[in-house]
Chain A
Amino acid sequence: MRKNKSVLLSTPYILWMLVFTLIPLGVVGYYALTDPETGGFTLSNIWELGKYLPVLGQSVLYSLASALICLILGYPVAYYIAHRGPIVQKILYMLVMLPMCMSFLLRTLAWVGLLQDTGIINSFLQAIGIGKLQLIRTPGAVILGMVYNYLPYMILPLYATLVKLDHRLIEAAEDLGCTPAKTFVKVILPLSVPGIFSGITMVFVPAVSTFYISQKLGGTDTVLIGDLIERLFKQGDNPNLGAALSLVLMALVFVCTGIMSRFGGEEEGGVIV
């Protein structure tokens, strides 16, 4: 009796998600296959996508690079935090989360202020006699923006995996004569694979679809797929082509996350605040 009734509790939710996540994707598909002028069925939006492949490739490249950098930077930090006492852990964890509470747009603008030719870093470099460097409007600046904004998304899942790691395994490895480096490679690293993959996914997905970071920190050669989608909807007056591009982006993301979760296992669920 009770079980049956509580099953019903999930129905409104399932309906909601169907109506507001699955059906909209269907509408995107519908737009992708219609002509912007006549409203009739067409495949021309799909044929045109070939033109956008280089930009798509560039987006994937930048976001993979930033995910890897996040991993390299984030792993030692997550490891360090996971090995503190409970209270220090909480404090450090909070400090990782905290920047995300400040507006994402403003934080990116702060980087513009730091990196631009007349910006804080260049003024400093000039004052100490090094001279100006081209920092902003380079691929490096875009990747930096991605790393900066999404680094916490890497640290949090890594930390969640590392903190659960059974310490006795490490002791056992050491007892059996492993050097610290060997213990790390043979025991710690394999056990943190789920965290690594979920971290990479969490960085990769927002990075590959961003348009704000590339608009503010990028130059004329660092156009990303998100820029184009935004432009097609908001300025180019071609939502149909924009819809087709969105579908491509979505497919890309789902394939990538599919691959990641195969490696990452079924580790799911909330990050603890």
Chain B
Amino acid sequence: MKKTNRILTILMFIFLYIPMVVLIVASFNTGKDITKFEGFTLHQYAELFRDEDLLRLLGNSVLIALLSTGISVAFGTVAAVGIHSLKPKMRKVVMSLTNIPMTNPDIVTGVSLSLLFVFVGSGLLGQRESLNFWTLLIAHVTFGLPYVILNVMPKLQQMDGSLTDAAMDLGCTPVQAFFKVILYEILPGIVSGGIMTFTMSLDDFVISYFVTGSDFVTLPVEIYTYTKKPIQNKVYAMFTLLFLLIFVLMVVMNLLQIRAGRKRETMRSVSRGRMIFRRVIAGAVAVCLLVGCCALIFSNKQEKITLNVKNWGMNMADGSDGTLDIVKAFEEKYPHIEVNMSYYESNEALYSQLNNGGITVDVIIPSDYMIDRMIQSNMLLELNFDNIENFRYVDEQFKNPAYDPENKYSVPYTWGTLGILYNTKYVDEADLTGWELLWNEKYAGKILMIDNSRDAFGIAQYLLGYSINTTDKTELDACAQKLAEQKPLVQQYVMDQIYTIMENEEAWIAPYYAGDCMLMMEENEDLAFYLPQEQGFNLFTDAMCIPTCCKEKEAAELFINFLTDPEISGANMDYICYASPISAAREHMEAYLAESEIVYPSEDVLEKGTAYAYLSEEITRYVEGLYQSATKLNTFG
């Protein structure tokens, strides 16, 4: 019995630590892929400290964790003393209130808080930016408080009530009695509550994900939302260091406790050790709050304008691989502006985020049909073209497009096609007969499908020979049916995760946007792009717009103007591998891209492409519902 228990325990620890070993090993890996160890390096650790963005995100996480821990501990301890002296009946009620955030699933807590903040902030108070640093802090304090209370209450109950009375008989004021007697007795509870709050807050992702605005993002949320690139090894390095730090802290804590425990056995009076311990803890809480506040004041001090840009992932040159760092170049030209970039995965996700409200966004880059939808829902501001002189470089054919007939709201950024990326090692060229490749049972389990309703329906529509802008519900139902038939063959429905999956050959076939396909083809040379010309394909334009929740319109227009400069646009396309709507930019692009048939298809190919149009709110919702039923719920066919 004992032996089996021991073996089981050892096995359990191996199970718990295998992924940790994988992550730690990955931090020393020279290769990019977590699954293949190519060589040992410490390079990532040096990189880590050079990456300002990463450090800033970590700083954000630590700041929120410190502040929320400090507040929860102070607030929660006081509250626990108060609750302790309540009548038992009332105490029970308050404790069940305390239990709500503990038992409620994180996702419900996150959703409910975000709805509250948006409802009160944007709905009732008319505030534009109702999701911000403060709401994030409130959320963290709300889920931290119960941990402190639930840890402190038992200690208060164990405490001998006559101790306080004795202290007060000896002349202590209630406040003095609290600090001299009660605090000491409940200290272990405070400490463990504080530690739990801190770790929960630092690692929290679900609640933050729903409550976070665009200006203050924590590390876990960024890791979740930015899925395009594989996680960089320096992130593993960072967490390895954090892990070590926590490990050391825990060991020290335990050693101190063991020592304190031994001393307690020998002396009952208030020993110096305990005094020191007490001061250390009080000091730690104070430092938490102080550091937090300082960092806060410090970070708010800068007088720069922050420009919040929401973009597709990897859709702007960032200086890697010898390309131009567009944001940096812009900030150098306009030193009073600071660009804060965040990402979305699909037009629908962008629309949702803006429509849910509570955030400030100054520049967005949606696609054609979505721009039309946003114009009709009054979500875009008219641009002042006096600030966007470079608009004159835009090719005539991209001016006054169908989605923005008077060209009041948008400046085109890129255009491209949606085709199929496949791996030549596994996919037979003879099977490239059209969109039915995505329904080919030979490749069951190796097919990825694009995860947004519009593109998925578009593919089914090309396959079935319908118009991609059909509003006929029987046709739409037939498309949903087709997608439901495809489901058993599909490995995953993905957007940006496609990068890692296709590059490491976990899947072989996937429909995606041409530019992104080019990027993946650069990483894995077995990948190729196929455009089903006979059946037709989507030809899209992404354009820069300013949403109504914009705060810095002029800076936003400067930014749009900057990106429309032919030279900048060309340099940008070198990185993102899309086609520029500015012919002059093509001359500034690298030759292999400017001449690529994938980036710039020839005229006779382009003729077969069609663009999505916005249909109506009713049809959009109908399609979204069908898409969900067909691909997520199994309630179709």
Interface residues of A, Cβ cutoff 8 Å to B: 2-3, 5-14, 16-18, 20-25, 27-28, 30-31, 36-37, 51-52, 54-55, 73-74, 76-77, 79-81, 86-87, 90-92, 94-107, 109-111, 113-114, 116-120, 123, 134, 137, 148, 151-152, 180, 201, 205-206, 208-209, 211-212, 219-221, 223, 226-231, 233-239, 242-243, 246, 249-250, 253-254, 257, 268-273
Contacts and interface: CB of A to CB of B under 8 A. Distances in A.
Given A113-B34, A119-B35, A237-B624, A270 B111 contact: no
A101 B138 contact: no
A111 B254 contact: no
A268 B634 contact: no
Contacts of B108: 28, 209, 246, 249-250, 253
Contact of A94 (B8, B101, B251, B348): B251
Prevailing SS type, chain B contact patch: helix
Contact of A81 (B9, B116, B192, B220): B9
Q: Lowest 3 A-B CB distances belong to which pairs?
A: A10-B82, A9-B82, A209-B105
Interface in B338-355: 345-346, 348-349, 351-353, 355
Interface string B91-127: 0001101101101111111011111100100000000
Nearest to B191: A273
B246 A107 contact: no
B275 interface: no
Interface string B209-244: 010000000011001100000010001100100110
A26 to B, nearest CB: 9
Nearest to A25: B112
A50 to B, nearest CB: 10
B142 interface: yes
A107 B86 contact: no
Nearest to B7: A76
Contacts of B36: 123
Most A-side CB within 10 Å, residue of B5, B103, B115 = B115
Given A106-B236, A230-B107, A246-B108, 8 more contacts: A17-B97, A20-B138, A36-B621, A54-B634, A79-B5, A104-B205, A180-B1, A270-B193
A31 B115 contact: yes
Given A91-B254, A99-B16, A117 B82 contact: no
Contacts of B199: 100-101
Given A151-B12, A234-B349, A272 B247 contact: no
Contact of A208 (B16, B34, B105, B114): B105
B12 A205 contact: no
A179 to B, nearest CB: 11
Contact of B632 (A107, A123, A227, A268): A227
Interface in B17-34: 17-20, 22-23, 26, 34
Most B-side CB within 10 Å, residue of A90, A100, A235, A269 = A235
18 contacts: A7-B82, A17-B97, A17-B100, A73-B8, A86-B258, A98-B246, A101-B247, A103-B239, A104-B203, A106-B235, A116-B504, A205-B103, A209-B106, A220-B631, A234-B349, A242-B111, A243-B115, A273-B191
A201 B105 CA distance: 11
